[in-house]
Amino acid sequence: MSPADSVKIMCPKLTCRKVLSVPATARGRTVRCRVCGTAIRVPAAKPKSADPVPDPKKP
């Protein structure tokens, strides 16, 4: 699995805190930590904006 095909997340449980590498296809889904079994929500992909929002105050 290449870095572009995976998402790194950290287990939120304070006694675990393992860094997990999950496939990018898991975005928006819930996965379980392999170490402690805690359910973790994988963040959805950020929408890419094609053009920046213009500032209305600039001429």
Q: What is the pLDDT of residue 57?
A: 74
45 pLDDT band, cuts 50/70/90, is: confident
Q: Indicate whether 36 pLDDT > 90.
A: yes
* Residue 19 token pair: 């860094």
Residue burial 4-23, b: 16+ Cβ < 10 Å; e: rest:
eeebebebeeeeeeeebebe
51 pLDDT band, cuts 50/70/90, is: low
Q: Indicate whether 7 pLDDT > 60.
A: yes
Q: Indicate whether 27 pLDDT > 90.
A: yes
